[in-house]
């Protein structure tokens, strides 16, 4: 039996005449089946409408196969469920995040300005799906389902950049990140750099590159993020291999805000950074 995420929210089915508890994933499957049956569709009829086989529909409804974003989006359309399945999926994806990461996600969603420094990886909010999957797959303790769940959750985070009034995102990255392009990674990294350029040209996004010529600098001590809320207050997060717990401790904030100024001053301007990224794409071997 597939185990639910450790921090998953559980729903009791006792009021419905049963005694089994459900995770949100179980709820999605049961709602998918309920909506299909209510619409008077067999698994085969429904499958044809969403371009899946009847056996696949059955496997998804019973939990033998995982559902995916595409199937649920089509199901919401076909079953005119007003986005119910998609909304439940977003809840399930959020549950897929480690519990210690949820407070930072809340700060990120409410922020009016985000400052992110990354010396080793492209920032999560600016990653392509392929790059995100490659990075997450580096953790060989994760199953394929867990990898896909985390990829979906990471892409869902990026929705804040597409909302009508997005936060201002200022990202500073070390140039060394852009040179990780061995044979297996070459095409993927090319797409990622093109995506960085596209993001950097948005009015609400600034990308700044710390060139290799800078050498050693304080930012190499590790990545960190800063979020400023509507009230002007700051929250910070420092990532490690095990945690990224946010803090609003005044001393910690003062230190990280000072370090931000240092790494930002070492970085190229916005236009210089875009020019460097374009140069890298054009000279791609």
DSSP secondary structure string for all residues of the chain: -PPPPTT--EEE-GGGT---EEEHHHHHHHHHHHHHHHTT--HHHHHHHHT--HHHHHHHHHTSS---HHHHHHHHHHTT-TTHHHHHHHHHHHHTS-GGGHHHHHHHHH-SEEEEEESSS--GGG--HHHHHHHHHT-TTS-HHHHHHHHHHHHHHGGGGTSSSPPEEEEEEEGGGGG---TTTHHHHHHHHHHHHHHHTSTTEEEEEE-GGG-S-GGGG--EEEEE-TTS-EEEEE--SS---EE--HHHHHHHHHHHHHHHHHSPPHHHHHHHHHHHHHT--
- The structural domain count of the chain equals 2
- pLDDT confidence tier of residue 187, bands split at 50, 70 and 90: confident
- pLDDT confidence tier of residue 230, bands split at 50, 70 and 90: confident
> Which of 76-90, 143-157, 213-227, 256-270 has the highest mean predicted lDDT (pLDDT)?
256-270
Boundary-marking domain end, from 62, 94, 126 = 94
The model's pLDDT over 3-38, given as tens digits with 9 standing for 90+, comes to: 333 333 333 333 333 333 456 777 888 999 999 999
Q: In terms of domains, do 176 and 50 share one?
A: no
Q: In terms of domains, do 111 and 142 share one?
A: yes
- Per-residue confidence (pLDDT) for residue 97, from 0 to 100: 65
Domain assignment present for residue 134? The answer is: yes
The model's pLDDT over 87-113, given as tens digits with 9 standing for 90+, comes to: 887 776 666 666 567 678 778 888 999
- Per-residue confidence (pLDDT) for residue 93, from 0 to 100: 63
Boundary-marking domain end, from 94, 128, 144 = 94
In this predicted structure, which of 73-82, 104-113, 238-247 has the lowest mean pLDDT? 238-247
Domain assignment present for residue 159? The answer is: yes
Per-residue pLDDT at 214 exceeds 50? yes
- Per-residue confidence (pLDDT) for residue 283, from 0 to 100: 76
| pLDDT average, residue stretch 40-69 | 85
């Amino acid at each position: 039996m597939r185990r639910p995420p450790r921090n998953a929210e559980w729903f009791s089915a006792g009021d419905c005449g049963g005694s089994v508890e459900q995770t949100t994933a179980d709820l999605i499957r049961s709602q998918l089946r309920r909506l299909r049956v209510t619409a008077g569709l067999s698994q085969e009829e429904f499958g044809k409408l969403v371009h899946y086989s009847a056996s696949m529909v059955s496997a998804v409804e019973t939990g033998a196969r995982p559902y995916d974003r595409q199937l649920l989006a089509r199901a919401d359309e076909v079953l005119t469920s007003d986005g119910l399945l998609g909304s439940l999926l977003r809840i399930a994806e959020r549950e897929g995040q480690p519990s210690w990461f949820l407070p930072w996600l809340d700060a990120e969603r409410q922020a009016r300005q985000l400052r992110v420094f990354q010396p080793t990886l492209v920032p999560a909010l600016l990653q392509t799906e392929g790059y995100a999957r490659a990075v997450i797959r580096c953790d060989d303790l994760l199953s394929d389902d867990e990898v896909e769940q985390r990829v979906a959750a990471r892409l869902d985070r990026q929705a804040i950049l597409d909302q009508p009034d997005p936060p201002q995102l200022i990202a500073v990255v070390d140039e060394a990140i852009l040179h990780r392009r061995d044979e297996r990674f070459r095409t993927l990294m090319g797409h990622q750099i093109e995506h960085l350029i596209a993001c950097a040209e948005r009015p609400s996004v600034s990308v700044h590159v710390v060139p290799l010529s800078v050498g050693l600098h304080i930012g190499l001590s590790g990545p960190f993020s800063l979020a400023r809320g509507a009230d002007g207050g700051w929250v910070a997060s420092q990532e490690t291999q095990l945690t990224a717990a946010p803090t609003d401790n005044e001393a910690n904030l003062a230190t990280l805000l000072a370090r931000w100024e240092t790494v930002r001053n070492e970085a190229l301007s916005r236009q210089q950074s875009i020019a460097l990224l374009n140069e890298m794409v054009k000279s791609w071997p």
